[in-house]
Amino acid sequence: MTGRILVACMGNLLRGDDGFGVAVADALEDRDLPSDVEVVEVGISGVSMAQELLDEYDALVLVDAMERNEEPGTLYVERADVPDLDGYSKREIGGFAADMHQTDPSKVLVLGEALDVLPEPTVLVGCEPYETDDLEDQLSDPVCAAVPRAVEHIELVIDKLRSNGSVDG
């Protein structure tokens, strides 16, 4: 792949482990990434994410806290499974763009697909949170420990995308 790669980091610094993506974005600032890789913190708004995707990237790495009932700090790195747009009304999809709270990766993927700006491949890098409901400005210990590991995984994904355009193999 010779195109541009967007690493979009989602999260809310004031909701504990929901700030995982923001912490990863901060850690990536200190890395020597290729010039065709753009790292952005998109906060929690679907609108911010959609605006970034309008700049036409060839691959997307989406970083966020992802609840899957595993041990806190567990990392997930996988190709995104884009939900079928037929399962959503235009009103629901429009609501994803306007929703300023609790935007999750699946809503971002649906919005990007609806706007026809979601690149292929799209890779998710997620971390199982410990706490995201309380007003807290720090990550839990297991999620904080997962940040450097996530950065390493993202660098590997970027290398694979740049070498063969895929994260498979």
Q: What percent of the chain has pLDDT over 70?
A: 88
The mean pLDDT of 119-130, rounded to a whole number, is 94
What would the two tokens of residue 91 be?
Answer: 């009103």
pLDDT digits (tens, 9 = 90+) for 3-60: 899 999 999 888 889 999 999 999 999 999 999 999 999 887 667 777 888 888 999 9
Domain extent listing, the chain = 5-164
DSSP 13: T
What CA–CA distance (Å, rounded) separates 43 from 94? Answer: 18
In this predicted structure, what is the pLDDT of residue 82?
77
pLDDT of residue 61: 96
> What's the rounded Cα separation, in Å, for the pair 146 and 165?
26
Q: Are 164 and 1 in contact (CB under 8 A)?
A: yes
- Rg, the chain, Cα only: 15
Confidence band of 100 (pLDDT split at 50, 70, 90): very low
- Rounded to two decimals, the pTM is 0.88
Residues β-bridged to residue 5: 37, 59
Please give the class, per CATH, of domain 5-164: alpha beta
